[in-house]
Amino acid sequence: MRRKSLFCLSLSLLGLAVAGCDTSSQKEAPPLSAEENRKKGFGKLFGDDTLTFGKKAKSEQGVAIGVNSFLWRATLDVLSFLPLIQADPFGGVIITDWYTPPTVPSERFKVDVLILDPQLRSDALRISIFHQIQKDGNWKEIPVDASVINDLEEAILLKARHLRISSLNS
């Protein structure tokens, strides 16, 4: 009986010794900055149910479009007659393919739009228009008048404003 007890005791001690030899290297998370603590609500004197002014910070979970949604939709609406190559709502890039009007088969153009800001502002758009004509079987680049680019920008901004107003009314 004593031999059996000694065997069980030694087996238990061996098990405890092995359990204490954990070699996993779990590193502690670095301490949060003061701003991160503030966002999480640590250190509030009266807790979360106190009187606050302004909106609560939005949680960073979920995916949102990276640019102004009204400018994005307005640009796609205005350029809807052009074939699209790329439309990236997170980067704000819209690139069209070459378009040849049916009435003028010797001309073609393409448009690149970059939406730079999440706000509905006129300086949030960067538009490039490329225009070419066919001469002797080769396409030749023609400079585009700045007024054409401004007209396209105004059309997009006007459509974006209409979309915003209609969203506020509904």
Residue 99 lies in a domain: yes
- Residue 27 confidence class, pLDDT cut points 50, 70, 90: low
Residue 24 lies in a domain: no
Residue 42 lies in a domain: no
pLDDT at site 135:
94
User: pTM for this one?
Assistant: 0.62
Write the CATH number for 85.
Answer: 3.30.530
Amino acid at 80: S
Q: What is the pLDDT of residues 28-42, one digit of tens each?
A: 666 666 666 666 665
User: How many distinct structural domains can be found in the chain?
Assistant: 1
Residue 1 lies in a domain: no
Residue 52 lies in a domain: no
Residue 142 lies in a domain: yes
What's the CA gap between 50 and 29, in Å, rounded? 29
Range of the domain at 110: 69-169
Q: Are strands 125-135 and 138-142 parallel, antiparallel or unpaired?
A: antiparallel
Q: What is the pLDDT of residues 73-105, one digit of tens each?
A: 999 999 999 999 999 999 999 999 999 999 999
Q: What is the pLDDT of residues 119-132, one digit of tens each?
A: 999 899 999 999 99
